[in-house]
Structure 1
């Protein structure tokens, strides 16, 4: 009987350990996905500043709903056909998403690419548990490839490093 409970316990642990299996997000694949979406998106590059103490603290099994939105400020550029050339300075909202005990995150004051729905201001930066909408500290090759994607040129995902 003990072995049955042990097997059930191990199965439950294995299910929880693999419950959130995320593929490594790629900014070019994200660009392709949002470009095909029926709703409009902005691709922004710059810094979002906010109170990091408002982020969810640690991993908890109590996350049955997403945390409250966090007010933030964005300063940077929007992607145009010429590259990241359109000034974009605005209040924004950071919405952290959770999947059970796993929550997304972001860092204040870090250069990043943000994919955001082009809704009425303030736009909402989504930090999901699997990432994919915020890409911190991108290299110049990624910024150049996003410009190429926007122009209808080469648009291939970055190789894994």
Structure 2
């Protein structure tokens, strides 16, 4: 089974260390999802969840930060089809906010996101990590057009300069 490459470089969790992330964008995420043995849905819309459930780092006790932090949320928008973001997609989802040592992913409640949702059983899972993962906040029309081009089999180059 091919696993998605999530660009995390783990560092020793001390205040003197830093997290180093490889550049990652919505096209690289599309390619990773397409290459995965897992099924994914690409959606664009408003993400809602309880921000109080996001992990909080106590820098004096960094070792207590859990690597996986699950919460529930909802995406209200459209799923990607060959014609673009045209299929209504309103679903409750699970979210895994991952941490690498004291560095945790961040999300914003009520924000506009382009997300890659892994199909898990009857539900969907959004995985985000300190380097971004499968959520891209405030995607512009250019990014959405490039992702649509990918599903249409057109140019899908992750080296294009955008997030």
Residue 72 of structure 1 aligns with which residue?
73
- Residues in 2 aligned to 1:82 and 1:121: alpha-carbon distance in whole angstroms: 25
Residue 144 of structure 1 aligns with which residue?
145
Residue 5 of structure 1 aligns with which residue?
none
Number of positions where the alignment pairs a residue of Structure 1 with one of Structure 2 = 149
Report the 3-state secondary structure (helix = DSSP H, G, I; strand = E; otherwise coil) of the residue aligned with 2:131: coil
- Residues in 1 aligned to 2:65 and 2:15: alpha-carbon distance in whole angstroms: 18
- Residues in 1 aligned to 2:81 and 2:109: alpha-carbon distance in whole angstroms: 25
Q: Which runs of 5+ in 2 are unaligned?
A: 1-11
Task: Note if contact 2:149-2:155 (Cα within 8 Å) is conserved in structure 1.
Answer: yes
The list of structure 1 runs, each at least 4 consecutive aligned residues, that deviate by more than 6 angstroms after superposition, is 12-15
* TM-score scaled by length of structure 2: 0.81
The structure carrying a bigger helix percent of its residues is 1
Worse-superposed segment, 20-29 or 118-127:
118-127
Q: CA RMSD in A?
A: 2.3
Residue 83 of structure 2 aligns with which residue?
82
Report the 3-state secondary structure (helix = DSSP H, G, I; strand = E; otherwise coil) of the residue aligned with 1:44: strand
Residues 121 and 13 from structure 1, CA distance in 2 versus in 1: closer, same or farther, beyond 3 angstroms? closer
Report the 3-state secondary structure (helix = DSSP H, G, I; strand = E; otherwise coil) of the residue aligned with 1:70: strand
Residues 101 and 13 from structure 1, CA distance in 2 versus in 1: closer, same or farther, beyond 3 angstroms? closer
- Residues in 2 aligned to 1:83 and 1:76: alpha-carbon distance in whole angstroms: 12
Q: Which of the two has higher C-alpha Rg?
A: 1
Residues 67 and 36 from structure 1, CA distance in 2 versus in 1: closer, same or farther, beyond 3 angstroms? closer
Residues 13 and 89 from structure 1, CA distance in 2 versus in 1: closer, same or farther, beyond 3 angstroms? closer
Residues 98 and 152 from structure 1, CA distance in 2 versus in 1: closer, same or farther, beyond 3 angstroms? same
Residues 160 and 44 from structure 1, CA distance in 2 versus in 1: closer, same or farther, beyond 3 angstroms? closer
